[in-house]
């Protein structure tokens, strides 16, 4: 009788384990309210014409500055040979979304001369970017760092999150 009891307990424990793992795997990576309409999160075209702003949007304005190194409390971080750092000063405003807008640097990219770049770890050396959730009517400002070839002539910031999608209004200053 004791063996049967142990087998039953083992089988029940196994099924409980499967249910827990299944619940974790099926959870979206971003637990946000989804009262948004699906739209394109891609970067703007450089010759976009002015259109009226939708009442619900994420407004992202940014400026780009080329720097030769990133100064930090330990000295300086230098780019790889033949490359430069681009510091991208970003201001994000959530205008009407009940879902929060996540500033994880992994979601941002920089397209420079038709090549897409991920943020550089020097972003953290600069210590001017935090991963936060920008709530409705909230504003966040920070600086992302990208490492690109010295020959780059144009760049555009982009955002690609898996979920949810937002109507993003881009302004490069």
Q: Is residue 4 in some structural domain? A: no
Local confidence band at 25 (pLDDT 50, 70, 90 cut-offs): very low
pLDDT tens digits for range 80-137 = 999 999 999 999 999 999 999 999 999 999 999 999 999 999 999 889 999 999 999 9
Q: How many helices (H) and strands (E) does the chain have?
A: 2, 11
Kindly report the pTM of this predicted structure: 0.68
pLDDT tens digits for range 56-90 = 999 999 999 999 999 988 899 999 999 999 999 99
Helix (H) or strand (E) holding 3: helix 2-26
Q: Is residue 68 in some structural domain? A: yes
- Examine the pLDDT at 49 and tell me if it is beyond 80: no
Mean pLDDT for the stretch of residues 142-157: 97
Which residue in this structure is represented by tokens 């770049």? 117
pLDDT score recorded for residue 10? 64
Q: Which domain holds residue 148?
A: 57-172
Q: Is residue 118 in some structural domain? A: yes
pLDDT score recorded for residue 35? 34
In the chain, how many domains are there? 1
Q: Is residue 114 in some structural domain? A: yes
- Examine the pLDDT at 31 and tell me if it is beyond 80: no
Residue 105, domain CATH: 2.60.40.1240
Buried-exposed string 12-23: b where 16+ CB fall within 10 A, e elsewhere: eeeeeeeeeeee
Q: Is residue 34 in some structural domain? A: no
Q: Is residue 24 in some structural domain? A: no
Q: Is residue 44 in some structural domain? A: no
Q: Is residue 2 in some structural domain? A: no
pLDDT score recorded for residue 163? 82
């Amino acid at each position: 009788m004791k063996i049967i009891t142990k087998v039953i307990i083992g089988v029940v424990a196994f099924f409980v384990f499967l249910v827990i793992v299944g619940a974790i795997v099926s959870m979206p990576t971003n637990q946000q309210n989804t009262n948004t309409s699906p739209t394109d999160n891609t970067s703007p075209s450089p010759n976009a014409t002015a259109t009226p702003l939708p009442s619900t949007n994420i407004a992202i304005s940014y400026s780009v500055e080329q720097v030769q190194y990133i100064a930090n409390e330990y000295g300086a971080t230098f780019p790889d040979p033949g490359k430069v750092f681009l510091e991208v000063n970003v201001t994000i405003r959530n205008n009407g979304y009940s879902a929060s807008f996540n500033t994880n640097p992994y979601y941002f990219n920089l397209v420079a001369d038709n090549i897409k770049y991920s943020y550089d770890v020097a972003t953290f050396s600069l210590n001017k970017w935090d991963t936060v959730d920008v709530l409705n009517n909230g504003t966040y400002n920070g600086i992302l760092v990208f490492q690109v070839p010295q020959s780059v002539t144009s760049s555009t910031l982009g955002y690609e999150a898996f979920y949810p999608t937002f109507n993003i209004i881009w302004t490069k200053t």
